[in-house]
Structure 1
Amino acid sequence: MLRLSWTQPEDLLPHALVAAEFDGRDVADLRSRWVAAGGTPDAAVSGATPEPAPDPLRALARELLAEIDQRPAPAALVAAEPDDLDAILAAAPAVWAAPAPEMQPADLDDRVLGAWLGRASGCLLGKPVEKISLEGIRAIGRSTGNWPIASYFTEVGLDPDIAARYPWNRRSRPTSLVENIDGMPEDDDLNFPLIALGLLERIGTGFTTDDVAQAWLDDLPGGRVFTAERITYRNLLDGYEPDVAGAVQNPFRDWIGAQIRTDVYGWVNPGDPVAAARLAWTDGRLSHGRSGLYGAMFAAAACSAAVVATSVSEVVAAGCSVVPAGSRYAAAIARGVELGAGDLDDEAAVDALHAEFGKLHWVHALSNSALLAFALTRGDGDFERSITLAVSGGWDTDSVGATVGSITGALTGARGLPGRWTRPLHDTLATSVPGFAGARFTDLAARTVALAPAPAATR
């Protein structure tokens, strides 16, 4: 029996109740109605419960989802966390100053290639342990002599009891363990950047949210999108316009999906984080809001800085320069930076993050972005240290590993990346995105740089 995840009303409703309560919306009466009717209050971590709900319970779930959409967010939250682009930028810190032109690197080609390769390497490192608990990641690493993480994961030497207790991501295991790697396997963390690159090549920086929606429908099968993207995809097919499709019965708008889509917008706007963030907003708003949208803008702005900057602190400052200062997202980034610069050892610092953010779903933007900021800050530009910190922190391992790899890969440049991380990629990327069959990272980098103007001197 097919149980499609992230779409069944009875599976969405518990997530929607949690999201509403997290925003301070009063839905206690709706939760009571659901539980009284026999619905589970516990959100399915994997996105789908084993069995479908009876028809009356499913109908109630649809009704309650619609009612949740009508419950307003508190005025203070709306003021602190707007979704309108101009309001977001008005609430963000004042400026980010790029290095003066004479101080900017002349090797943009190498920086952008480093970003593509870094994104792939960090993603590939995190793929086999995606969805595995922090405890499980540590147990696997220790059992195989790879703790602290120093290479791609292996199952050679893995204790059978640990393997049974913490099974690999079944889709990733055949292509992402070190003994199996043969080029970069397909992953949504790379597919979405390809779609962004295709949009920019076909339409240019004037693309609209409608164009993003059309690209999804043209280039992505529905089964290749998840969480907020899957809800948005469904709503587009149901006739909702792109301006509203992401806001209808979508409890995942604060999750990490938009944050994995926007690196390319930074790479084609070197040293101009606001221009990058504007493109990220146009893309991200299709499916996300508030924290999810800020994550898209932060990543794009940080990537814009990473191809011209010389330090992680510059990159994080650029990302923060486009995020509302009073938002929960800005606070999560600040907490990650604080722990990264603090005195706790790596595991204790990660434990502190999990203690503070662990009640959120493992795909939520806030927890993963706090980990992102921690890994970047503590790694301090060291590519290997940064991606291994990101993945060893758990949660959405491939996505955080990819973004950390993208940023530190850009700071380092392709020529400076350790070969043990890049050689297994064979300069190849598997993808089902039309127009990119047989893609090579060297070609993708050249196509990206061809779209970039000269680096901006100031914001």
Structure 2
Amino acid sequence: MIRLTWVQPEDLVGHELRQAAEDGREVTEIAARWHAAGGHDAPPRAGASPEAPPVRLRRLAEDLLDELAAVPSPLPEPSALAEIIAACPQWPSQRGTAVSGTQAMDRMLGAWLGRAAGCVLGKPVEKIPREGIRAIAEATGNWPIRGWFTAEGLPAEIGRSWPWNRRSAVNSLAENIDGVPEDDDLNFALLALALLERRGREFTTDDVAQLWLDELPGGRVFTAERATYRNLLAGLEPPGSHDPPALTTATFRNPFREWIGALIRADVYGWANPGDPATAAEFAWRDARLSHTANGIYGSMSVAAMCATALVASSAEEVVAAGLAVIPPDSRLAAAMRQAAEDARREPDFERVVDRLHARHGDLHWVHTINNAALITAALVHGRGDFTASIAGAVAGGWDTDSAGATVGSIVGALRGASGIPQEWSLKNRLSSSITGFDGIGLDELARRTLALATEES
């Protein structure tokens, strides 16, 4: 029997209970009923329990998910764009920066190459916890991390304890890298590029949904994106002013709505708006609201603003400030990013910075937005524009390694330009993808097409 992950009602209740604890909802009585009936807590790393439950438990799960959706959060974390802007006293003015020429191309190519390199670095150790990443790196003479992961010279007992987890991970090992292997962290960037090329700057959330249905098989998206896909096929509408909050693609039985999925989709919205973090954040909001709410949306907006700023800025601190300016300062995400930045400024040993991040956010799922955004912030501030130190820090942190590595890589790559990325992180100019029209495309062609979008606006 197929146990499809991330959509079974009985597997969602535990995740929704954990989400309720995070956003301040009182659901003790609902949790007690669930546990008394034999329901389980959220799996710490997986998406589904191994066996199908009794029919009665599935029916109870459906009822409890609806009850949980009706319990409001007391936190001041809006999802509507006008309310988000109103909550941001430092919301930036809309002002693009004219970009063209060799330097602009170098920085855009640096952004694409940086995203690819950070993703490839983090892919082999995705789902491996922090202690396993260090054990692998130390055993192969790569600690502190300064190059691609490798299986060559890895003791058998270490490999058994912390196995690479899928074929694409093996394709990201130093001895096997042959171009950029396919990954969802890169496919979503390609989708955003296709969206802007096909629909233009006035694209809507409905356009994002249609592109997903056209280009993304449901089995190749996960967590919030898979729940959203299910909701689209069930006939639910993307969020809009006419929709009750519990009946949108983002909120209906989607306990992953504050996880990292929207954040990894944001970079191109920033690259298309160099020097204009406000517009970049708005573009990201239109995309993110399809599948996410509150901090899930803020993560996407923040990264888009940082990517827009990185193309014209001179420091990682300037970039982080831009990311914080477009999210509500009283939100959990803003607090986590501010504290991460402060730790990174004060503590010279990045491992101690990560110790503090895990102490504060270790109870969150490894693909949640808040912990990963805090790690991204810390890696940027501590790395101070050093490409290797920045992506290595993001990956060594041990949460969503390929996603955090990709985002940090794209930002520092844009700051430094492709010419400023050390040669050891070079990749063959070929990217694999199942997105129509992109398989085998060169990073230079992606940079050229993205720069064309940015140049059109400026």
Shorter-normalised TM-score: what interval?
A: over 0.9
Aligned pair in 2 of structure 1 residues 216, 338: CA closer, same or farther (>3 Å)?
A: same
Percentage of pairs with the same residue: 57
Q: CA deviation at 1:170?
A: 2.0
Residues 82-120 of structure 1, C-alpha deviations (whole Å, 9 max, x = no match): 111011112113254899969999721111110000000
Does residue 119 of structure 1 match 2:121? no
SS in 2 for 1:242: coil
Task: Name the aligned partner's letter for residue 145 of structure 2.
Answer: I
Q: 1:384 to 1:360 in 2, by over 3 A?
A: same
Change (3 A) 1:409 1:241: same
User: Do the aligned residues in 2 keep the contact of 1:272 with 1:455 (CA within 8 Å)?
Assistant: no
C-alpha offsets along residues 297-328 of structure 1, whole Å, 9 cap, x if unaligned?
A: 00100000000111111111111111111111
Partner of 2:453: 451
Aligned twin of 2:354: 350
Q: Deviations over 1:215-253 (max 9, x none)?
A: 000000001111000000000000001121111011011
Alignment-derived partner of residue 415 in structure 2: 411
In structure 2, which of residues 297, 300, 317 is the aligned counterpart of residue 293 of structure 1?
Answer: 297
Query: TM-score if structure 1 supplies the norm length?
Result: 0.95
Residue in structure 2 matched with residue 439 of structure 1 by the alignment: 441
Partner of 2:314: 310
CA shift for structure 1 position 338: 1.0
CA–CA distance in structure 1, aligned partners of residues 311 and 227 of structure 2: 34
SS in structure 1 at match of 2:336: helix
CA contact (8 A) 1:23 1:73 kept: yes
Partner of 1:48: 48
Match of 2:267 in 1: 263
The answer for the alignment partner of 2:104 in structure 1 is 108
Task: Name whichever of 63-72 and 124-133 sits farther off.
Answer: 63-72
| Structure-2 residue corresponding to 1:21 | 21
Structure 2 residue 356 is the aligned partner of structure 1 residue 360: no
Residue in structure 2 matched with residue 179 of structure 1 by the alignment: 175
Q: Aligned-pair distance for 1:71?
A: 1.0
2:392 matches 1:388: yes
Report which stretch shifted further, 289-298 or 55-64: 55-64
Residue number among 134, 139, 143 corresponding to 1:143 in the alignment? 139
Whether contact under 8 Å (1:99, 1:309) holds in the other structure is no
Change (3 A) 1:210 1:269: same
Could you list the per-position Cα deviations for residues 261-310 of structure 1 after superposition, in whole angstroms to 9, with x for gaps in the alignment?
01001111000000000100000000001111000000100000000111
Give distance in 2, aligned partners of 1:45 and 1:5.
11
Matches of 1:313 and 1:105 in 2, distance apart?
26
For the 8 Å contact 1:99–1:308, the answer to whether it is kept is no
Q: Deviations over 1:115-173 (max 9, x none)?
A: 00000000000001011011111111111111100101011111211211111122333
Query: What's the CA shift string for 1:325-346, capped at 9, x where partnerless?
Result: 1111111111110111112512
Q: Corresponding residue for 1:197?
A: 193
Q: CA deviation at 1:349?
A: 1.4
| TM superposition shift of 1:2 | 2.1
Amino acid at match of 2:64: L
Distance 1:101 1:25, change over 3 A: closer
Matches for 1:319-334 after TM superposition, within 5 Å: 319-334=323-338
> Secondary structure of 1:245's partner?
coil
Tell me the secondary structure at the aligned position of residue 167 of structure 1: coil
**Gapped regions of structure 2 (runs ≥ 5):** 240-247
Amino acid at match of 1:2: I
The alpha-carbon distance between structure 1 residues 58 and 105, as it changes in their structure 2 partners (threshold 3 A), is same
Secondary structure of the 1:252 match is coil
- 1:62 to partner: Cα distance: 1.2
Q: What residue in structure 1 maps to residue 159 of structure 2?
A: 163
Check if 1:397 corresponds to 2:393. Answer: no
**TM-fit CA distance, 1:454:** 7.2
Residue in 2 that maps onto 1:4: 4
CA contact (8 A) 2:96 2:275 kept: no
Amino acid at match of 1:38: G
- The answer to whether the 8 A contact 1:271-1:455 is kept is no
> Which is further off, 403-412 or 320-329?
320-329
Q: Does residue 215 of structure 1 match 2:211?
A: yes
Instruction: Give the counterpart letter for 1:233 in structure 2.
Output: Y
Report the CA distance shift for 1:182/1:275 in structure 2 as closer, same or farther (over 3 A). Answer: same
Structure 1 residues 39, 398: closer, same or farther in 2, change over 3 A?
Answer: same
CA contact (8 A) 2:306 2:323 kept: yes
One-letter amino acid of the counterpart of residue 448, structure 1? T
